[in-house]
Amino acid sequence: MHELSVTQTMLDIVLQQADLHDVKRISAINLKVGAWTSIVPDCVQFYFEALSKDTIAEGAELKIEKIPLTGRCEDCGEIFEIEELLFACPHCSSKRVNIETGRELFIDSIEVE
């Protein structure tokens, strides 16, 4: 259910920026969403369609790019995609791993007319 509040916040930011720049219509919103955020793109799309009704963003395309969960091994420096939440380096088996990507959640760009 946190997709509802995330979508509302995203739409608020987009509409505020559109107002600041005298935009008449928003045609697309490009989002970056990390795999570890647990955001479900279909839910965001559903809420966006409902929340954007009767705004300049109504009918805009919502483009969501999923960013994979990756880690960096502190011992050997290997960067790898983390699958099934196994936080061990596939190169040296170290469990000293820092998250590199996968926590992102931001508006990358807004396309306007």
Give the pLDDT of residue 14. Answer: 98
Q: Which domain holds residue 36?
A: 2-68+102-112
pLDDT at position 27: 98
Per the rule left: phi > 0, alpha: psi between -120 and 50, beta: everything else, 8 is: alpha
In a domain, 16, yes or no: yes
Residues of the chain with pLDDT under 50: none
Domain for residue 92, yes or no?
A: no
Contact criterion met (CB below 8 Å) for 106 and 98: no
The reported pLDDT for the residue numbered 74 is 97
CATH number, domain of 44, equals: 3.30.2320.50
Give the pLDDT confidence score for residue 2 in this predicted structure: 87
